[in-house]
Amino acid sequence: MNTKSKKFTKKGIIPVFLIILLTIAIQFTDYWDFKNDSKINQEKSYELFSNIAAFFPEKPKVNYLIYQNDTFLGYTVKKEEIEYTIWNLNKFYPDTLMLENWSVDFLFNQGLTNIIINWTPTHPNAILENHSEDSINMITFKDKLLLDSVNQLYYARFSYPTNPLSDSIYQKMGNQYFNSIKIDSK
């Protein structure tokens, strides 16, 4: 009888221990959601270039993109492994095939994989959007090519650590960033 109660106690402790671990994991996830929602709500709008404004968690720094013998002016904020960037590409590629080729080439030359191109983006000024991953450094990239009324092309990017548990939170932050980009018509 004594042996049976010891076995019952050992068997009973494991489910209780698992329930406690699960409760801690859920509370940690709720805390992480709250922390990231707080970050989203602390952003401020900044004027970029002559006709673009976007929300960033802090004042963006000037950033230059050098690609295929061209230099593009941009702005970026990197905060806790999350990066918000927008570049003025100074060019208009009138052919959609050229745009797609340039975009894939640009991503591929950065060593990114799992490249997905979407020709039906949700942003009103976007002409295409990309999803790609840096599988070595575990970073996910969301990009949008934006076009203003005078055919000026902009490249907006949101990148974050690849983490299936937090992916929906990062996507929410990325969507808020992209939706905050306002392009004034000239």
Mind giving me the DSSP string for 127-162?
A: EEEEEEEETTTTEEEEEEEEE-TT--EEEEEEEEE-
Q: In what order do the strands lie in the sheet with 61-67?
A: 61-67, 70-79, 82-88, 153-161, 139-147, 126-134, 113-118
Tokens of 58: 């802090």
* pLDDT score for 183: 87
Report the topology of domain 44-183.
Answer: Protein Transport Mog1p; Chain A (3.40.1000)
* pLDDT score for 62: 93
CA distance 142 to 116: 10
Radius of gyration of the chain (CA): 22
CA distance 104 to 14: 50
Domain ranges of the chain: 1-42, 44-183
CA distance 124 to 179: 9
pTM: 0.74
- The partner residues of 157 in beta bridges, in order of sequence, read 85, 143
Within the chain, which residues score under 50 in pLDDT? 1, 5, 8, 34, 38
Q: Name residue 69's amino acid.
A: N
* pLDDT score for 8: 47
* pLDDT score for 113: 92
CA distance 149 to 116: 26
- The partner residues of 61 in beta bridges, in order of sequence, read 76
* pLDDT score for 92: 60
